[in-house]
Chain A
Amino acid sequence: MSWEPVIGLEIHVQLKTESKIFSGAATKFGAEPNTQACAVDLALPGVLPVFNETANRMAIKFGLAIGAEIAERSVFARKNYFYPDLPKGYQISQYELPIVEKGLINVAMPDGTTKPIRITRAHLEEDAGKSVHDVFPGQTGVDLNRAGTPLLEVVTEPDFRSAEEASVFLKTLRGLIRYLEISDGNMQEGSMRCDVNVSVRRRGAEKYGTRAEVKNVNSFRFVEKAIEYEIERQILIIEDGGEIAQETRLFDPSRNETRSMRSKEEATDYRYFPCPDLLPVETTKELIEEVKATIPELPWEKQARFEADYGLNTYNASLLAQSKSSAKYFEDVIEISKAPAKLVANWMGDELAAALNKENLSIAECPISAERFAGLIARIADNTISGKIAKTVFEAMWNEANSTADDIIEKQGLKQITDPAQIKAVVEDIITQNPKQVQQYKGGNERLFGFFVGQTMKATQGKANPQQVNAVLKELLG
């Protein structure tokens, strides 16, 4: 029996405003506990929220980027529940009338296909504080620095059919919010947090299965793990004749499993009602136009341009376009090196990406500037060095600040041998020194061709131009 998973995501995106959504307190990450919480954030008696219009602009920017409808009138409601890190006893959140509805994000998948994901809505709300359980023995501490930080909650339709789709979508979303400069999109710091809704159904079935919601899955990898675990868990239960309970579950990263947190019956009645302290937010056409003018070339627009202009495949183009800095790096290198775009794309995708990953750096933190990298690519393109030697040069450049490819090639004598006479002399020597192999080769063992190439390269410390070596060998061996 074949099962189909159905997955939807709810992503909380922390907006990068200077101050909080309803107060003037700062929003910086990592400050001493309760140093970034003012009277409003502490919910002292008599204080009132005042809406930070910048948060609205950011939400509009996001909505426009995904082709969504922007509400002329959005309304903040109160979501009432008791928790120590929720100072007012309610969260102010857009409920019935969110600012953004009905958008679409097309996700470029590694297999070259495109997966459209519908965005149900994106609404503004305030973040809660944090409960700290490990500082005071037997007691819980409350840090309200985060309370009131603006969040954009992005809700997708249940359009995902695999963990991979969800994870690639999240990376696409992160790329978008960073392009728009509305969020850091940093899952470790919690500036992007994800809840996952998972259900399974028999392939071909129309009705969705009962879903479980998995809370606070805080990395791309965990999202995949949590979804995979849920799919397996739910299939096992159903195949055993059981039923899936509609419940909220918590992902445990140390065991890569999800655990039941509360059932539907235990769910809180949030008693939503419009917040009487805030007026409805009126968004004018003028404001929308104003925000529209600030939207940069979007990742998928860049990706399409990379495909068209540089002949890259969709996935590679999407990887390069995923962050503004990698796209810029890519285009800068092409411009400076005048090298073919595919060569640049391959080198960024392989050597550079591997080196960055190894040291956990982003392209913005890359120790080799686009200019220096272009210097290396140019030497590959003009055949000064072979691809193999280029790896040695790259390594040297990585470790030596401000070094240029030319300096390293010069200093280490890595320049490719392209003088036909010089290559021919080396090849002749190799042939002379290996009569037995020559005989075998001529006797039909064509695999020995590689042996001669290897010997030649060894004799030239890898500097001989491989194409020329091939040609000369073919000529001399007959």
Chain B
Amino acid sequence: MEHKTLAELSKALQNKEISSVELTQFYLDRINKFDEKLNSFITVCDEHALNMAKAADARIQSGNFTALTGIPVAQKDIFCTQGIKTSCGSKMLDNFIAPYESTVTHKFNEAGAVMIGKTNMDEFAMGSSNENSYYGAVQNPWKNNTVPGGSSGGSASAVAARLAAAATGTDTGGSIRQPAALCGITGLKPTYGRVSRYGMIAFASSLDQGGPMTQTAEDAAMVLNVMAGHDVKDSTCINKDVPDYTSNLNDSIKGLRIGVPEEYIAGDIEADVAKCIEETIKTLRSMGAEIKTVKMPHTKVGLSAYYIIAPAEASSNLARYDGVRYGYRCNDPKNLEDMYTRTRSEGFGDEVKRRIMTGTYALSAGYYDAYYLKAQQIRKLISEDYKQAFKDVDVILTPTSPSTTFEIGAVKDPISMYLTDVFTIPANLAGLPGISFPCGMANNLPVGVQLVGNYFEEAKLLNVAHQYQQETNWHTMLPEGYSA
């Protein structure tokens, strides 16, 4: 069963070859067996999930089902779920139970999906290794004591180890795509505004976007069908028809123009990763795609701009965690200032505090123009780079991450850690959709390739990835020890 994709499981459920309760129990057993080591879940919803599975079975019996009815899905612990803890990986929200449902999880509920649990993540989605979680680091199932990437590391690890049929992630600077790459799965960050952010705990509002993390592109298309769509509760969510993302998966990619930025080719990429990317380009070319070199002159400063804009927004977004209304509050505050200071000093981890301080600094009087405003200008230039590039090509290809996974604790310097997002960040700054899918192995570790498409061209990205997955087997590989 662990070799089955979501698409296959969906068929099996609808053909009543298996019940949702059985399937849910199967994943719960696997979580029980493997997750003590992986630590990919913060909350496992045993009973709740089985109840949902029963309801899903009833829906399937009655014929009132969707493609995701009965499918066990893991939700990143950043999506608020009514009555079930939503921690955002932070001590600050260890006791937080939302009295409302995020739009994304609501849509899964409506579709009849089974929420099997809430996945581990870097605290407030700040990190690229999932080492910044109050609930401890997550392991990558591909190698002992390595990171799954971040911040959606729990979701990536859970899908890679087949502890859920699919998972959700959120991506502010690469938090879906980078862990997808490091764990050998498929992850899609949609166009900014395609998926509602309501109830998705904010890190950097102008960059955050939820998306699917799955075994295959086809699975991602099915999950995105559920997640995407307008929401009146999110003013930045765009009112635009949602296509059926599965409908053009089988289109040929003959004549597809793929751009490869010359700036990326010259970048600091591990040799083994670079080799996989070259192979991938060859494969795509052999499938009929046309490879072109494109210029993206401003992407090299994207990382710097990102590390101004994201912390600036975060410093403001995280101001609400003040101990006044909910969440962690320090013991015996002496006065208001003491309450603020100790609540936030004790409730937030180091990386979160680092970014709050960076962001506060960047927005301060006298520095705003030099940092925040400048970063916004760079952001415009990067969007302009893409606009120019998309005149000549349909999608832009780069590695997802410059390296494969690394050992827990190996990257100590924050700047080095930030550099792992160098390829993923530009798409966030421009608000463009990006997908990462497995494209090879380097020293028995998965390598991911990234495609960035034009606004709302998720279907094209999924189409290319799906076609690639028809030609290759990288997406079907299961880490050793995780077969039944």
Contact = CB atoms under 8 A, between A and B. Distances in A.
A168 to B, nearest CB: 37
Nearest to B202: A46
B266 to A, nearest CB: 33
Nearest 8 CB-CB pairings of A with B: A89-B319, A276-B206, A271-B363, A276-B205, A46-B199, A43-B320, A45-B201, A46-B201
A271 B360 contact: yes
B250 to A, nearest CB: 37
Contacts of A272: 363
Interface string A133-148: 0000000101000000
Given A90-B316, A273-B368, A276-B205, A45 B233 contact: no
A88 B233 contact: no
Interface in A368-404: none
A48 B198 contact: yes
A208 interface: no
Contact of A276 (B80, B100, B313, B318): B313
Interface string A62-94: 000000000000000010101010011110000
Nearest to B313: A276
B199 A47 contact: yes
16 contacts: A39-B99, A42-B325, A43-B325, A44-B100, A44-B326, A46-B201, A48-B198, A48-B234, A50-B232, A82-B322, A82-B340, A87-B320, A89-B316, A90-B319, A273-B372, A276-B205
A361 interface: no
Interface of A: 39, 42-51, 78, 80, 82, 84, 87-90, 140, 142, 269, 271-273, 276-279
B364 A271 contact: yes
B370 interface: no
B139 interface: no
B226 interface: no
Nearest to A42: B325
Interface string B219-238: 00000000000001111100
A271 B312 CA distance: 9
Contacts of B198: 46-48
Given A44-B326, A80-B316, A273 B205 contact: no
B368 A277 contact: no
A157 B277 CA distance: 63
Given A78-B316, A89-B316, A90-B316, A277 B372 contact: no
A84 B343 CA distance: 13
Contacts of B232: 50
Given A90-B316, A271-B360, A50 B233 contact: yes
Contact of B316 (A51, A269, A273): A273
A277 B233 contact: no
Contact of B324 (A50, A90, A142, A279): A142
Interface residues of B, number: 44
A274 to B, nearest CB: 9
B316 A277 contact: no
B88 interface: yes
Contacts of B79: 46
Nearest to A278: B235
Given A43-B325, A50-B232, A273-B368, A88 B98 contact: no
A277 B340 CA distance: 25
A470 B145 CA distance: 115
Contacts of B326: 42, 44
B316 A44 contact: no
A182 B109 CA distance: 41
A87 B325 CA distance: 8
Nearest to A50: B235
Contacts of B320: 43, 45, 87-89
Nearest to A76: B235
B205 A277 contact: yes
Contacts of B100: 39, 44, 47
Given A39-B100, A78-B316, A88-B319, A45 B372 contact: no
Contacts of A277: 202, 205, 235-236
B476 interface: no
B102 interface: yes
Contacts of B316: 78, 80, 89-90, 271, 273
Contact of B233 (A48, A82, A84, A278): A48
B93 interface: yes
B336 interface: yes
A320 B86 CA distance: 59
A269 to B, nearest CB: 5
A86 B326 CA distance: 14
A48 B322 contact: no
A82 to B, nearest CB: 6
B365 A269 contact: yes
A51 B232 CA distance: 10
Contacts of B202: 45-46, 277
Nearest to A144: B325
Nearest to A78: B316
Contacts of B364: 269, 271
A444 to B, nearest CB: 84
B197 interface: yes
Interface in B317-357: 318-320, 322, 324-326, 336, 340
Contacts of B325: 42-44, 87, 142
B236 A279 contact: yes
Contacts of B206: 276
Nearest to A131: B336
Contact of B312 (A48, A88, A269, A273): A273
A276 B197 CA distance: 12
A279 B235 contact: yes
Contacts of B197: 46, 48
B303 interface: no
B455 interface: no
A279 B206 CA distance: 11
A248 to B, nearest CB: 17
B324 A84 contact: yes
B200 interface: yes
Contacts of A44: 80, 98-100, 325-326
Contacts of B312: 273
B88 A80 contact: no
B96 interface: yes
Nearest to A140: B336
A72 to B, nearest CB: 18
A42 B364 CA distance: 26
Nearest to B86: A45
Contacts of B360: 271
B328 to A, nearest CB: 12
A51 B233 CA distance: 10
Nearest to B96: A45
